Amino acid sequence: MPLAPPPPLRIGLTGGIGSGKSTVARLLAGHGALVVDTDAIARRLTQPGGAAVPALRTAFGDSVIRPDGSLDRQQMRQLAFADVLCRRRLEAILHPMISDETQREALAGIAAPVVVFDVPLLVESGRWVDLVHRVLVVDCSEDTQIARVVRRSGWTVDAVRAVIEAQVSREQRLLKANDVLLNDGIDEAELAQRVDVLWQSWKALGAPTV
């Protein structure tokens, strides 16, 4: 009887907006990690015909639903940032659905050496830290965050600052980190080298047996 593969090392990947977290996730996938992207799951749940759309329409009205039947993410973001009760209602709808789909995707990759849970609000959620073996924070300065998001998305500086202020501080995020990738003042080639060094350290570490 063939031996079962060892359990994967579970990594929680997080970082502030514009930190380069998605680039790191892609680089880790290139090394053989299974990446479970909670943002991508949320988008699927809120696209036309998505499982979350009926509940969101009931909770927030037709104004947050686009003509094609998808969630108007910009409108919903504005409501959530302006009203903490609105944000909690949104989370109460989406988070259980995201959690169920996350578990399904993780089980599908049980043979992978590393499962990376890409969670933008990992620290804010309060529960993810206990569900993973290690937390990886992709870190950079606030000025770098703003410059990247403005360049790629065309947002105003004030809009980016509002998102940063709604997230935990850089210092709070780093306090939860087991591993940190500093992605400031370097190009993607150097970032890839840093990811490679980290990957080799994880391979040597392996998943805890308990």
pLDDT digits (tens, 9 = 90+) for 27-64: 999 999 999 999 999 999 999 999 999 999 999 999 99
Residue 1, SS3 per DSSP: coil
Phi, psi of 45 (to 5 degrees): -65, -25
Mean pLDDT of 155-180: 92
Q: Which amino acid is at 48?
A: P
The reported pLDDT for the residue numbered 208 is 67
pLDDT digits (tens, 9 = 90+) for 100-135: 999 888 887 667 889 999 998 888 877 788 889 999
- How far apart CA 101 and CA 98 sit, in angstroms, is 5
Q: Left if phi > 0, otherwise alpha if psi is -120 to 50, otherwise beta: which for 138?
A: beta
Can you tell me which residue has the tokens 């804010």?
A: 124
Nearest-CA neighbor of 125 among 176, 196, 68, 200? 176
Phi, psi of 6 (to 5 degrees): -65, 150
- How far apart CA 205 and CA 73 sit, in angstroms, is 40
> Does the pLDDT value for residue 166 go beyond 70?
yes
Mean pLDDT across the chain, nearest whole number?
A: 90
- How far apart CA 185 and CA 197 sit, in angstroms, is 18
The reported pLDDT for the residue numbered 27 is 97
> Does the pLDDT value for residue 9 go beyond 60?
yes
The reported pLDDT for the residue numbered 128 is 81
Indicate the pLDDT class of residue 82, thresholds 50, 70 and 90. confident
> Does the pLDDT value for residue 6 go beyond 80?
no
